[in-house]
Each structure stands twice: as C-alpha cells, then as structure tokens.
A and B are shown apart, each in its own frame.
Chain A
C-alpha cells in the first residue's frame, strides 16, 4: 500500500532541474508532497486533489495523473535550499478519513 518513489536519490548542481515520481497500486484521492531536512520535521509543500491537477509553488510544481495513479514533483532551477528528502504521501480513494501513507522518500542534494 506504500507508494513507490523514484529515484531513490539524486544529486544536482545549482540551477539544474529534477523530477521526482510517485506511484501507487491503489486508486488515489489525493497526493501530498513534503520536504524534510536533516534533523527537522517534514514541511508541507503541496497537495493535489483532482486528477490532472497541477500546482505551482515558486519553482516547485507538481502534477497528478489520477488514471495512472501517479504524481510527479518538478524542481526547476534548483537552489541549495532545495536539498533534503522529499516524501510523497497518498490518500487512498474510498477510505473514511484523512489517512496519508508516505513513500520511502527521495534524497535530493544540490551542490554548488
């Protein structure tokens, strides 16, 4: 039931772009994205509630393909501050409460 994330890890130079993918074997109600820096709590980035929805957040955006049960997080023109572990979280369609199951995470390192 845990979503799958890819890649496991990525190293970028400042200014480069990255895509992190999240897929589920179950039909989804929503997809969440969070970033966690070492020793800190996860921080909410965005939530996608509708199939095909795309959301933007400065140079970080995401899409949600409800049919394919997939979401992608796009980081453009990466900055050093983007380093951290990115988790997608999925809410399974048909469940009765706002339970989120988190993926294994993608470690992203941005170097100068």
Chain B
C-alpha cells in the first residue's frame, strides 16, 4: 500500500489566479494520477503524471490549464491556472502500485470566487 498526502487541503481563490496542489507519496511509485471530483459525482481522470517526461492528458484537459510536474517517484504537483468558478471541485491525486491498485490522497477542495 501507499500513504498519500496532499496540500493544501482546501483553498478559496479568486477568478483569474492559479493554485498549485502538491502530492507526496510515502514510497516510490511508478504511476501517479490526478483526478477531479464534483460533489456527489464520479472521479474524472485529468492526467497521468509521468516521471521525467510530460504528463499524459485525458480528453478535455490541456497542459496550459492544468500543468503537471513529476520531478521524482514520490512527488507531483498539479496547477490549476487562470481559474474560473467552473474549476471549483475536489482534486485528488493517487498512486498506482505494482499490483495496479490505486491509493488516493485526501483531496484538495477548491472554491473559485
């Protein structure tokens, strides 16, 4: 298993600004993922964070809006850029282990005003 921490846990941001969310894993993992979840909804995959190369983005998500870094096997960041109220959501990172299961961080609750 893996223990994931995220910060900040929540933030309230103004329209047009950017927020960087940090994700730290307690052990080295091959795969790290970023998801978005609206309250009461499913998890939507934003991108796979690849160590040493550009992230792989899902349809509807672009690097200019959600730049991701993965400098090593235990850490990743997601930036939500030029925010609008539609970006208000819970952002979760997860780590994929060698057994393919995923372990999730506690999430970052973002409100954009």
Contact = CB atoms under 8 A, between A and B. Distances in A.
Interface residues of A, number: 23
Nearest to A45: B101
A41 B105 contact: yes
Interface string A68-112: 000000000000000000010101000001111111110000000
Contacts of A101: 45
A56 to B, nearest CB: 16
B101 A47 contact: yes
Interface stretch (B11-19, B64-72, B74-82, B92-100): B92-100
Interface residues of B, number: 22
A36 to B, nearest CB: 9
Given A97-B56, A102-B42, A30 B105 contact: no
A58 interface: no
Contacts of B45: 99-102
Contact of A41 (B42, B101, B106): B106
B107 to A, nearest CB: 6
Interface string B1-39: 100100000000000000000000000000101000000
Interface of A: 2, 30, 32, 34, 40-44, 47, 49, 87, 89, 91, 97-105
